[in-house]
Amino acid sequence: MQRPPAPPARTERRHVHIGLIGLGKMGFNMRERLRRAGIEVTGYDRNPEITDTASVDELIAALPSPRTVWVMVPAGAVTDAVITELCEKLSEGDLVIDGGNSRFTEDERHSAQLAAKGIRFVDCGVSGGVWGLENGYGLMAGGDAADIERVLPVFDALRPEGDRADSFVHVGGTGAGHYAKMVHNGIEYGLMQSYAEGYQLLAAKDIITDLPGTFRAWQKGTVVRSWLLDLLVKALDEDPGLANIDDYVEDSGEGRWTVEEAIANAVPAPAITAALFARFESREDSSPAMKMVSALRQQFGGHATRPAGQ
């Protein structure tokens, strides 16, 4: 009698332990989501109420070698300072992931700086805002394929459940992740501006007696339905006339960089460019449309809004 085939051997799940520097709006929730997925995370933040360690040195000492450290701090000088510190304190074979909104042109510089010490580098655009803890994050990674493979368990823990290709992409080499995220945010500018202008037009016509209901009716079955539309409805539920929000809207950098790249590559981008200029205009005149853009930024990203009248 022929014996049945032996069951396949179980693949033991490898324990993963990473460091996370920056526990702000997104970093704090990312730490929690990773932990829920079984990833061990040691976090550091200057805020003593939320940090796991008293210093970056203590964080590094807690990690197994080769270490992986995810940097989730504001782009620019702060990211530069953190990466310079890690370059001095990490060892050959360690890996740094920049998950903030750094400009893609900075990635080559940071990669070369770390490579001089034998430290690996990955840039990763992260989208999901304050809702990422429950919904997961869209991830766009740039860097060497072997380095991406090394941290796939971390990416899989952060992204939404389901097919990896629906929420994670290895876009290309160094800088590609942040370039993709830059364009993503440029598109976001245009989408928010369109919803906001529609809101202002509906609000201007006295025959519209249920403005929030109009947007709510678009949430299912229409071609303009989206998560941003859902957040627009939520904003109107919380503050029907947007009376508590000023129309001053910040731009976080990616919109400007997207327009600059469009100019540099002779790619027409009129919608994104107009949306960026509308934010500049919001700092001069009162505008119901820009109140809505401000409300949407607060809804998806937790970005600060100015109280009305300030």
Catalytic annotation, residues: 181, 188
Structure tokens at 310: 């300030």
* CB-based burial, 156-182: b 16+ in 10 Å, e otherwise: bbbbbeeeeeebbbbbeebbbbbbbbb
Compute the distance between CA of residue 265 and CA of residue 32 in angstroms, rounded to an integer. Answer: 40
Q: How much of the chain is helix, strand and coil, in % rounded to 5?
A: 50, 10, 40
CA 213 centroid distance within chain: 30
Cβ–Cβ < 8 Å for 295, 198: no
Contact 229, 198 (CB under 8 A): no
